[in-house]
Amino acid sequence: MLKIYTADLHIHSCLSPCGDLDMSPRKIVATAMARGLDIIAITDHNASENIVAAMKAAASTPVTVLPGMEVASAEEVHLLALFDGLEPMAQFQKIVYENLGSFGIDPRTSAEQVIVNENDEVEGFNERLLFGASSLSFEQLVAEVHRLNGLAIASHIDRESFSIIGQLGFIPDDVPLDALEISYHTSLEQARALYPDARRFPLIRNSDAHYPDEIGRQITRFVLGQPTLEEIKLALKHYQGRKILDVE
């Protein structure tokens, strides 16, 4: 049976160097639940170590957690990569780490990149500098995401920094993106007027939350059969009654 699901598919945990320390799996799930979100994705910068904890923290709640990552391409374009399960997520993580370079964090200057368990207990720290960019091009990253049956969504295309339009001027013709994300800075009407490219792709909105208060500040409502990535894929293509209902 088809049903409306409210989704926020771009949330940073305390693993991201810019993510607030309060962005622990339990806090994220509890806040998502309080704000009526049905589906969330944990999308840390170039990393994914807090996703299992978030999925476990959500296991006894109505919230579905999808594995994801906000990965930076060689051009310093941010791409939202979402996966159907932990196995493709792990494979993608391996590719990203192999191409991320080996800068370690400097504890004097770097923010902590905290790995936690489902009880919000600190398990360790990610010692790589997660702010870096991959040596893979944007097109190569999109191809890898699709090879692993994931969704490739260009992050916050309306932002000047780290967006495909900011870095590359426009969306290359031959990149098979699944959707574009419009940030809270810009209305959909403005986005369509400002970026002709935005008319070629489905548009979604997410919070890009780095602090608990920001979770759900922008959402996308989908009509789906189940809260799964496969159903979201159908919705982006408006197949079999699945669709984007609205973006808020």
Return residues touching other proteins (CB under 8 A): 74-76, 137-138, 160, 165-170, 172
How far is 78 from 81, CA to CA, in rounded Å? 10
Find the shortest distance in angstroms from Cβ 149 to other proteins. 25
For other proteins, the closer of residues 165 and 235 by Cβ is: 165
* Closest approach of other proteins to the CB of residue 162, in Å: 10
- Residue 66: which of 248, 222, 238 has the closest Cα? 222
Q: Whose Cβ is closer to other proteins: residue 138's or residue 222's?
A: 138
Of residues 115, 141, 137, the one with CA closest to residue 128? 115
Closest distance between other proteins and the C-beta of residue 132, in Å? 15
Give dist(CA 28, CA 206) in Å, integer.
14
Q: Residue 200 CB, nearest distance to other proteins (Å)?
A: 16
CA distance 5 to 223: 6
Between 54 and 141, CB nearer to other proteins: 141
Nearby residues of 194 by Cβ (< 8 Å), 6 or more positions away? 158, 186
Q: From the CB of 163, what's the least distance to other proteins, in Å? A: 9
- Beta carbons of 178 and 141 less than 8 angstroms apart: no
- Which C-beta is closer to other proteins: that of 61 or that of 137? 137
In the complex, least distance from residue 190 CB atom to other proteins, rounded to whole angstroms: 16
Closer residue to other proteins (CB): 52 or 136: 136
Using the minimum distance from each CB to other proteins, give the nearer residue, 91 or 167: 167
* 1 secondary structure, DSSP code: -
What's the Cα-to-Cα distance from 40 to each of 12, 36, 53, 182, rounded to whole Å?
A: 11, 11, 14, 17
Torsion of CA 75, 78, 80, 81, to 10 degrees: 30
